[in-house]
A = this chain, B = another copy of it.
Amino acid sequence: MNKAEIVQLIRRKQSFLCVGLDSDPAKMPGHLPKTAEGVLAFNEAIIKSTLPYAVAYKLNIAFYEALGEDGWHALARTIEKIPKGEALIIADAKRGDIGNTAAQYAKAFFEQLDCDAITISPYMGADSVTPFLAFDNKWSIVLGLTSNKGAEDVELQRLENGRFVFQETMTRIAKLGNSENIMFVIGATKAEYFSPIRSEFPDHFFLVPGVGAQGGTLEELKMLMNGDIGLLVNSSRQIIFASSGEDFAKASAMKASELQIQMSQMIG
């Protein structure tokens, strides 16, 4: 899915909501089996009920790998359940390794699983991102400033040139591609940095986690929008675990719909 198609999808659905499928069996409704099969059934119901309100689904790979081989199977089957072109499919994998290894990860997520996008950790620098950019119509979503407390340890360290590590990192990574194949992760809890970030990167889309459970609010994200909207805002637990009863899919749809209505007002 290219950038124009994402913008179109956002305008059509009047939403920039990304639903995070952090499908932890321990938190799923009690009537579902706590297995990879249960996860697949859970995901299928959530996707079906939230698709009118979501423009992206983010699969948190950790939750599938924690289930072993069966988890990888549930991951692949879940991706097949998302109608192509109806939502961007993001593998939230935060991979990052030397070139020959990054190329294998690209193969895993762009070819084997046919995801549209993958999240990437830039600690190892440019050559850990480049191999992902060789794929047409696929997105590298690189960590910029994350929503967690640990962002202080590396990302918010100040360099001798006065800039933060995350800024310098984003600038270097941005040069490897363009706003048609690179997005950045910007945490919703870091509102004080939104204006300078958007000024420095006017055209890039940002994937924004941290709304809901982690404390960020939609209101503050206005500062991070651009003319293409320029945001995919993720909500995971708040939506998918909205109810622990048999009505969980309906409850998820209601929560997603609430967010979509707020977003439609922001899209204006």
Interface residues of A (CB under 8 A from B): 22, 24, 60, 62-63, 65-69, 71-73, 76, 92, 94-102, 104-105, 107-109, 112-113, 121-128, 143, 146-155, 157-160, 162, 165, 168-169, 172-173, 214
Contacts and interface: CB of A to CB of B under 8 A. Distances in A.
A22 to B, nearest CB: 7
A112 B68 contact: yes
- Residue of A73, A124, A147, A159 ringed by the most chain B CB atoms within 10 A: A124
Contact of A150 (B101, B126, B160): B126
Contacts of A98: 146-148, 150, 214
Contact of A123 (B63, B102, B107, B123): B123
Given A127-B149, A128-B150, A108 B159 contact: no
B160 A148 contact: no
A168 B157 contact: yes
B113 A94 contact: no
Contact of A125 (B92, B100, B150): B150
A60 B105 CA distance: 10
A125 B112 contact: no
Contacts of A160: 158-160, 162
A212 to B, nearest CB: 13
Contacts of A153: 122, 125-126, 169, 172-173
Nearest to A168: B157
A195 B173 CA distance: 30
16 contacts: A62-B102, A62-B105, A66-B105, A68-B108, A69-B73, A72-B72, A96-B123, A98-B147, A98-B150, A125-B149, A125-B154, A126-B153, A157-B165, A158-B159, A158-B160, A165-B165
Nearest to A151: B125
A88 to B, nearest CB: 20
A108 B66 contact: yes
Contacts of A152: 125
